[in-house]
Structure 1
Amino acid sequence: MSFVRAAASARATRVNQFAASARRYASTEPGAQKSSNLPLILGGAGVAGLAGYIYLNQFGTKSTAAPAAGAGKSYTPATNTTSPLDSSKFIDLPLKSVEDYNHNCAVYSFGLPDGQAALLPVASCVYLEASENHPNALRDEKGKPVHRPYTPVSPSDYPGEVKFLIKRYDDGKMSQYIHSLKPGEPIAIKGPLPKIKYEINKWDEVGMIAGGSGITPMYQIVNYALSDPNNKTKFTLIFANVEERDILLRDDFEALKKKHPDTFNVIYTLSKPADGWKGYKGYVNKEMVMQHIPPPSLGEKAKVFICGPPGQVDAVAGKKNGMKQGPIGGILKELGYTEEQVFKF
């Protein structure tokens, strides 16, 4: 299933609509490698670590990406210039549709009022929470609502709905709850919650390291950047999963790699590969980083993004400190990267 679609007419329309009002901020498979003994726990939330709420107009919102969920067609961008979402409170949105993606993931589309677009800046996410208007609203042990951050896979200007690729975890209360929802039932959403302001061509090279469902913010950024004809930044993504069937958005990344061979590459590694797998085997290790991620010697011309389960983030870049980035650690510290060069989602 591919989410990458051509939408030239939509891009041209959106450029004209936002020109006066929006600020734009933005290979062959390697041989098998020995597994690292560093932990990679491919479970947990795909997005975490938000510094706080920042107003929408501080970030760029213009998207030139195509629709994300099997539509296979170009679309007419929404014309609203302010987001119907609210970063200070939860509002209810109805579930419009559910599209199975793989053995434990599905695309959930939630309706936006009056055909409006979410206008989420890049890079940002939202909180999803069980609605108080749902008869079986999810609550924690203290009776408080459970909420989790998720990054949409639909473009910022997509009309009438916002889409999420959500993985169901056996021990994930929120993901289990969302997977139990039926079309027409509500979810509460709060956002946008900006993470890092992405600006086109701010860096010469960007390295991305992701695990499991931590791929969604990487997809948001790289799809946004590569759709800009002025982009010169080179992106390299190392994507770690358990099995081959767990690789999310693979068709999309392969399409982007084919379309932008000079500015995008993706490398996969599996901790439990099947016989015949020709990519990397094992967890993300020092050798992979040294071979594929831009070196720290590039200084301010390089940036490394990482998003994944805590075990992976800790091993590669050091633990986050709650809502803060925390000191650099792990593989990246060993290799000489600075805190300014690394961002942990």
Structure 2
Amino acid sequence: MSLFRTALRPSAFTARVRQYATEAPKKKSNLVPMTLAVGGLGGLAYYTYATRSGAVPVALPSALNPEEFVSFTLKKVVPYNHNSSTFIFELPPKTSSKLPVASCVVVQAAEPEALQDKKGKPVIRPYTPISSADNTGELVFLIKKYETGVMSKYIHELKPGDSLKVKGPISKFPYKENEFDEVALIGGGSGIPANTTKFKLLFSNVTEEDILMREDLDALAKKHPKHLELVYLLDKPKEGWQGPKGYISADVIKKYVAPPTAERTMVMICGPPGQVAAIAGKKAGFQQGEIGGVLKELGYTADQVFKF
């Protein structure tokens, strides 16, 4: 989905949607869409995994530590496409990540001095696992390799048996069941039956081959057509592409996302700094910063926008 960084680009909205799917809504609401802009697919990742695996949440202790880095051993690497792979790390027996909704972890090299920035400090990057928060024994990341991405290149060079240090969870946004009628996810680069929320994913990529987790997303949308709508946008589509083309623009947002005049509309965005700035204005370090970009032009206010 920033949110940290996920598979596509460091980021994500990791939602424990299975819990929501198995609980009846506490009350009906007249709420209208929440827009969630993500630069990756951390969003829906948990539900996708839980649906695929039949995982049932159990009371397991967390293998993570929010106060310090913990080393985990890489068990397996599974190539995904031309520039992305799935990295499966081992967790101690009878533990899981226990990653809360809309949170992430940060990672650094097993030997921090081996990967430093220009100031001599260890390189640290946020990522969101695609594995279930209650998945026993494994922590799974889907990571795209960027030639200018120091950490992504480092991780892609790891071999089974190597280690990576992880710290977390780091909570970003307090997602609440049925707080919104609709969630529109807008992502670039890189199941909810009993819950009344409808999810929309506007996902932009360079080519069709760059759409990570498409098979899982399409399966989810097919299974829950009333609760999940997918819109893929391509910068360089092949001949015959029927979907939208180009970047996520004002026209795209106006077409697919609830207007700022709708009650309880929330726009969440994460992704590359340039994308965040163009859509919602620059962040001010770890602070939200002033709203700007396309969303400001369309009339969205600061309390309707959250930047991961």
- Counterpart amino acid of residue 99 in structure 2: L
Deviations 1:209-231 (A, max 9, x none): 11112xxxxxxxxxxxx44x431
Q: Are residues 1:178 and 2:155 paired?
A: yes
**Structure 1 residue 73: deviation in Å?**
4.5
Alignment: residue pair count: 270
- Counterpart amino acid of residue 130 in structure 1: A
How many angstroms apart in 1 are the aligned matches of 2:295 and 2:47?
32
Equivalent position of 1:163 in the other structure: 140
TM score, norm. by length of structure 2: 0.81
| Partner secondary structure for residue 209 of structure 2 | helix
**Structure 1 residue 104: deviation in Å?**
0.4
Corresponding residue to 1:97 among 76, 83, 87: 76
**Structure 1 residue 317: deviation in Å?**
1.2
- Counterpart amino acid of residue 249 in structure 2: N
Q: Are residues 1:261 and 2:225 paired?
A: yes
- Counterpart amino acid of residue 259 in structure 2: P
- Counterpart amino acid of residue 277 in structure 1: W
CA contact (8 A) 1:299 1:341 kept: no
Equivalent position of 1:207 in the other structure: 184
Corresponding residue to 1:121 among 100, 113, 123: 100
- Counterpart amino acid of residue 261 in structure 2: S
**Structure 1 residue 64: deviation in Å?**
5.8
Equivalent position of 1:31 in the other structure: none
Listed as ranges, the matches of 1:70-149 within 5 Å are 73-75=53-55, 79-80=59-60, 82-132=61-111, 137-149=114-126
How many angstroms apart in 1 are the aligned matches of 2:181 and 2:212?
26
- Counterpart amino acid of residue 296 in structure 2: K
How many angstroms apart in 2 are the aligned matches of 1:283 and 1:232?
30
How many angstroms apart in 2 are the aligned matches of 1:142 and 1:324?
22
Equivalent position of 1:324 in the other structure: 287
> After alignment, is 109-118 or 160-169 more displaced?
109-118
CA contact (8 A) 1:117 1:161 kept: yes
- Counterpart amino acid of residue 267 in structure 2: V
TM score, norm. by length of structure 1: 0.73
How many angstroms apart in 2 are the aligned matches of 1:336 and 1:137?
46
CA contact (8 A) 1:98 1:108 kept: yes
Q: Are residues 1:194 and 2:171 paired?
A: yes
| Partner secondary structure for residue 297 of structure 1 | coil
- Counterpart amino acid of residue 140 in structure 2: K
Q: Are residues 1:290 and 2:267 paired?
A: no
CA contact (8 A) 1:85 1:191 kept: yes
**Structure 1 residue 156: deviation in Å?**
0.4
**Structure 1 residue 67: deviation in Å?**
5.2
**Structure 1 residue 284: deviation in Å?**
0.9
How many angstroms apart in 1 are the aligned matches of 2:72 and 2:200?
35
Unaligned runs of at least 5 residues, structure 2: 1-17, 23-38
| Partner secondary structure for residue 315 of structure 1 | helix
Unaligned runs of at least 5 residues, structure 1: 1-10, 16-44, 48-62, 214-225
- Counterpart amino acid of residue 313 in structure 1: V
Decide whether aligned partners of structure 1 residues 170 and 64 sit closer, same or farther in structure 2, where only a CA change above 3 A counts. closer
How many angstroms apart in 2 are the aligned matches of 1:211 and 1:64?
20
| Partner secondary structure for residue 296 of structure 1 | coil
Decide whether aligned partners of structure 1 residues 170 and 333 sit closer, same or farther in structure 2, where only a CA change above 3 A counts. same
Report % sequence identity: 50
CA contact (8 A) 1:315 1:330 kept: yes
How many angstroms apart in 2 are the aligned matches of 1:234 and 1:65?
15
| Partner secondary structure for residue 262 of structure 2 | helix
Decide whether aligned partners of structure 1 residues 76 and 231 sit closer, same or farther in structure 2, where only a CA change above 3 A counts. closer
